[in-house]
């Protein structure tokens, strides 16, 4: 007859078994869970919250940006209050709808598009945004890589107004070509930067300013492209 196992050891064995199963499932579905954590981030964007967040400091140190692994995304969701949302971007033709956070901290870029320069203002200068490219084609700035074309409309909103740009350029650049985010005298631009497929280079989407509306005066379809995808209360 085999000796009876101690109840505590039996309980510990079950706990370890459950933990191993949970760890195995997490490893198997790592990418799916990461994509869900990113895609389900839906902050409230209001004129009041935008005005408040614009006054906060932003991190614009590109050298500290990490690749988008599971730990970075999970940390960002746990610390989502650190993301200072100052607006939204919508590109309906590629099904891109994202909050815009101030700066390029890892928390911000894990869940939103990030402003690349301090004190940017929509509708003036060269409004530059960075965003990660993920395996999931619809997450973060991935639609830019797979679906963007010259001629498509890009809309930015600070909750008070909506600013319309038309895509004028889609080009691959070197990671060191940081001058593309500089202002261009006499031009109002939006510049969107994401990684290429290798991660070593960059894809740049540039749009030229067309017009702006107060939020409630914009075409209904444009308004809806923001309000139907976020918990927004303009």
Model confidence at 9: pLDDT above 90: no
Q: What does the pLDDT read at residue 196?
A: 85
For residues 109-138, give the mean pLDDT: 90
Q: Summarize the confidence of residues 166-170 as an average pLDDT.
A: 97
**CA count, 13 A, side-chain hemisphere, 44:** 9
Told to judge if 195 belongs to the known catalytic residues of this protein, a careful annotator would answer yes
Considering only CA atoms, which of 207, 220, 195 is closest in space to residue 155? 207
3.30.420.40, 2.40.50.140, 1.10.3470.10, 2.40.260.10: CATH of 7-227: 2.40.260.10
Q: Write down the pLDDT at residue 69.
A: 84
Lowest mean pLDDT among 24-38, 49-63, 212-226: 24-38
Active-site residue identified among 6, 133, 195, 229: 195
83 has pLDDT over 90: yes
Mean pLDDT of 167-179: 95
E-state strands within the chain: 85-91, 96-101, 113-115, 126-130, 153-157, 161-173, 189-195, 202-214
pLDDT digits (tens, 9 = 90+) for 126-158: 999 999 987 667 789 999 999 999 999 999 999
Mean pLDDT of the chain: 86
Q: Per-residue b/e over 191-220, b at no fewer than 16 CB within 10 Å?
A: bbbbbeeeeeebbbbbbebeebbebeebee
Give the DSSP H or E segment for 178.
none
Please give the structure tokens belonging to residue 222: 């444009």
Give pLDDT, residue 67: 82
Which residues, in sequence order, are CB contacts of 187 under 8 Å at separation 6+?
126, 208, 209
- The pLDDT, as a whole number, for residue 86 is 96
Whole-number pLDDT of residue 88: 95
Q: How confident is the model at residue 18 (pLDDT cuts 50, 70, 90)?
A: low
Q: What is the DSSP letter of 60?
A: -
First vs last C-alpha separation in the chain: 74
Q: Report, as an integer, the average pLDDT of 152-166.
A: 97
* Amino acid 28: pLDDT: 47
Whether 137 sits among the annotated catalytic residues: the reply is no
Q: Per-residue pLDDT for 25 more than 90?
A: no
Which is the catalytic residue, given 132, 133, 137, 229?
A: 132
Asked whether the beta carbons of 168 and 190 are under 8 A apart, the reply is no
**pLDDT for the residue 167:** 98
pLDDT of residue 212: 97
Query: Above 80 in pLDDT, residue 21?
Result: no
| Rg of the chain on CA atoms, in Å | 21
- Closest C-alpha to 106, from 127, 126, 80: 80
Distance CA 212, CA 224 (A): 16
């Amino acid at each position: 007859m085999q000796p009876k196992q101690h109840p505590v050891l039996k309980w510990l064995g079950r706990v370890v078994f459950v933990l191993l199963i949970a760890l195995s499932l997490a490893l198997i579905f790592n990418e799916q869970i990461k994509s869900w954590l990113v895609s389900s981030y839906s902050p409230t964007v209001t004129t009041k919250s935008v005005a408040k967040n614009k006054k906060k400091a932003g991190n614009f140190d590109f050298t500290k940006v990490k690749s988008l692994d599971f730990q970075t995304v999970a940390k960002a969701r746990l610390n989502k209050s650190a993301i200072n949302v100052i607006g939204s971007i919508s590109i309906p033709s590629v099904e891109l709808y994202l909050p815009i956070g101030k700066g390029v901290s890892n928390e911000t870029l894990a869940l939103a598009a990030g402003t690349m320069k301090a004190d940017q203002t929509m509708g003036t200068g060269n409004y530059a945004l960075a965003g990660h490219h993920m395996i999931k084609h619809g997450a973060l700035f991935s639609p830019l890589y797979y679906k963007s074309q010259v001629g498509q409309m890009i809309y930015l909103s600070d909750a008070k107004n909506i600013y319309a740009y038309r895509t004028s350029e889609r080009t691959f650049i070197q990671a060191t070509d940081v001058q593309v985010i500089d202002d261009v005298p006499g031009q109002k631009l939006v510049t969107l930067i994401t990684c290429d497929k290798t991660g070593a280079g960059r894809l740049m989407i540039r749009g030229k300013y067309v017009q702006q509306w107060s939020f409630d005066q914009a075409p209904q379809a444009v308004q809806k492209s923001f309000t139907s995808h976020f918990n927004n209360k303009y």
